[in-house]
Amino acid sequence: MKKLFIGFLLAALMPLSACGQMRWEEGTHYRVISDQASAKPEVIEFFSFWCPACNAFEPIVQDMKSRLGADVKFTKVHVNFMQFTGPEVQDDVTRAMLVGRALKDETRLNGAIFNYIHRQRGVITGLNDVRNIFLVNGVEAEDFDKMVKSFSVNNLVRKNNKTIDDFRQHLNGVPNFIVNGKYQATFTSNMTPDDMVNLIVWLSQQD
């Protein structure tokens, strides 16, 4: 009788499991933008520090990063085509963000930039303004000045901008998530933050 009950339970659970696997639908929750996935799993977030939605999304991004597999690379790419300010200023902030990355302090310093723009209502007019933000948040002036024109940061800037060029045709706004170089996430109005994270995690597991 016990075996019969277990068999019945498994039979009942299997359709539920299948439904769970089919929860995310192409065309509704994601688009396929390439025939081939990247060699290794990766999540790219295209964003802008000036974007209010990107600022509000930061706690979700941190949750997302903590729940992705250890083999999944997460990269933030700062865009320079938003209308909040000129492209030169956006490029300066991209460079500063990548100084933070080179200093192994990207998440905290990104938060400081978001805070300056959205909470303090500060205006960034160029690289010196972001330098001041970093100095106020504990970065040594000597370290910033050394890193900002370094080979490693120049290389990171080139990679950032090349990634924008590679996916520009798919970027109509931010935040925007490309997963495994093949899938573009679509967040529908009825999705909770937890749903959004689960979608990205699921997409990162797809070939």
pLDDT at 4: 44
Read off the DSSP letter of residue 169.
Answer: G
Round to whole Å and give the CA distance between 45 and 112: 18
Round to whole Å and give the CA distance between 145 and 128: 10
Q: Which residues of the chain have pLDDT under 70?
A: 1-22
Task: Note the pLDDT tens digit of each residue in 129-152.
Answer: 999 999 999 999 999 999 999 999
Round to whole Å and give the CA distance between 152 and 65: 24
Task: Note the pLDDT tens digit of each residue in 86-104.
Answer: 999 999 999 999 999 999 9
pLDDT at 12: 42
What SS3 class is residue 80? coil
pLDDT at 116: 98
Question: What are the chain's domains?
Answer: 27-204 (3.40.30.10)
Round to whole Å and give the CA distance between 125 and 26: 41
Q: What's the number of CA atoms in the CB half-sphere (13 Å) around residue 196? A: 21
